[in-house]
């Protein structure tokens, strides 16, 4: 047995892997896999194979750089963790945890959550999932009656006009903040001094890889935040059919951050998208309060983060009110169905 990484364009291996996966699984979409796992050393898909190249298990790891009061750390975000044979999962899990300073799990399947709990990873709570209108995903293969119910609710006259509400919050916010569309990140859009003790803090190259605006399978909108003529941060929105995700938002002040989110939403949620669902996550009390004042509701089932690994437990604060947390970390915002993408067929029956 050996653990190898996926190479972009190796669709023969990907086909063997997809034969073991449920239909419409994320890894059955070659364009997504080639880009996310095969175009940078920051993110790899690790596979356990035998000499005949049969795949026994798989896990993706994105290496995410974070700033903390104790210095910079690299957290390995695990994704698409599957074991098809007893024992394979343990080896892949250990490989995941050893790839970075610590492993990080944000969401994840019940099996993956049980595994990290068994390893006594530290769980971080206090993270709210907030939504304006009903921000449903549209999983492929969903029952027709559920699709019909969502269609009716999406056309309800009670849905909030997102652009109007965002504009109203900007007028009430007291800041003349602008969200300027950009095709890519530049160095001056990175926040050097932050009010948050712990935050995702990658370089420009990383941001331009992860939130690229020219991809076929996902539609990202990148905005420069400008206050009083000075760049003060950035916002990235992920536009999907019928909903928008607040993927990434960073600014030098929590209030500026919340107002920057409204400024970006006011530009993307127009026309046919003005009544769309919007979803964000936050552990910052200021941002949480601003979003709820705008009409966002808090989902009863929130998300938590788990951090751990074979090294000693992380020494930086686990008080998430001091963290800057965004939803679209790892592959959270990269889920099937991808825009305009064909998939490899799975021979496994749907669950």
Q: What confidence tens digit (pLDDT) does each residue in 215-261 have?
A: 999 999 999 999 999 999 999 999 998 899 999 999 999 999 999 99
* Confidence (pLDDT) at 291: 97
Strands 198-200 and 55-68 turn out to be antiparallel
* Residue 31's pLDDT band (cuts 50, 70, 90): very high
Of the candidates 151, 64, 146, 159, the residue with the CA atom closest to the CA atom of residue 102: 64
- Statement: residue 351 has pLDDT above 50: no
Least confident of 63-67, 138-142, 269-273, 336-340: 138-142
What is 127-302+315-324's CATH topology? Aminopeptidase (3.40.630)
Find the helix packing angle between 285-293 and 254-268, rounded to 10°. 40
Taking the C-alpha atoms of residue 206 and residue 65, their distance in angstroms, rounded to an integer, is 9
Mean pLDDT of 75-93: 89
Please list the residue range(s) of the chain that carry CATH number 3.40.630.30. 2-125
The CATH homologous superfamily to which domain 2-125 belongs is Gcn5-related N-acetyltransferase (GNAT) (3.40.630.30)
The whole-angstrom separation of Cα 83 and Cα 93 is 10
> In the chain, what percentage of residues exceed pLDDT 90?
64
Distance CA 21, CA 13 (A): 13
Contact 351, 139 (CB under 8 A): no
Check residue 258 and give its pLDDT: 97
- In tens, the pLDDT along 260-318 reads 999 999 999 999 999 999 999 999 999 999 999 999 999 877 789 999 987 776 778 88
């Amino acid at each position: 047995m050996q653990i190898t990484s996926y190479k972009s364009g190796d669709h023969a291996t990907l086909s063997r892997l997809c034969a073991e996966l449920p239909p419409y699984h994320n890894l059955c979409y070659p364009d997504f896999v080639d880009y996310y796992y095969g175009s940078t050393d920051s993110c790899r898909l690790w596979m356990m194979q035998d000499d005949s190249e049969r795949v026994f298990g798989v896990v993706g790891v994105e290496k995410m750089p974070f700033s903390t009061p104790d210095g910079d750390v690299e957290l390995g975000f695990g994704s698409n963790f599957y074991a098809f044979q007893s024992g394979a999962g343990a080896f892949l899990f250990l490989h995941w945890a050893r790839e970075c300073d610590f492993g990080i799990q944000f969401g994840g399947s019940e099996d993956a959550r049980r595994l990290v709990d068994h390893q006594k990873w530290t769980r971080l709570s206090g993270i709210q999932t907030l939504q304006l209108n009903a921000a449903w995903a549209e999983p492929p293969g969903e029952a027709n009656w559920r699709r019909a119910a969502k269609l009716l609710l999406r056309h309800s006259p009670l849905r909030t006009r997102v652009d109007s509400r965002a504009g109203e919050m900007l007028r009430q916010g007291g800041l003349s903040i602008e969200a300027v569309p950009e095709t890519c990140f530049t160095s001056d859009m990175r926040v050097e001094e932050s009010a948050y003790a712990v935050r995702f803090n990658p370089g420009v190259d990383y941001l331009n890889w992860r939130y690229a605006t020219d991809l076929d399978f996902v539609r990202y909108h990148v905005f420069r935040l400008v206050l009083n003529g000075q760049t003060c941060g950035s916002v990235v929105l992920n536009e999907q059919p019928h909903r928008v995700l607040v993927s990434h938002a960073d600014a030098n002040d929590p209030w500026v951050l919340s107002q920057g989110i409204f400024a970006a939403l006011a530009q993307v949620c127009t026309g046919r998208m003005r009544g769309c669902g919007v979803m964000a996550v936050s552990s910052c009390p200021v941002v949480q309060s601003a979003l709820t004042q705008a009409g966002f509701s808090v989902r009863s089932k929130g998300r938590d983060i788990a951090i751990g690994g074979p090294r000693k437990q992380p020494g930086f604060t686990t008080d998430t009110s001091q963290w800057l947390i965004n939803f679209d970390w790892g592959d959270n915002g990269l889920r099937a169905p991808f825009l305009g993408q064909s998939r490899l067929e799975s021979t496994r029956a749907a669950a």
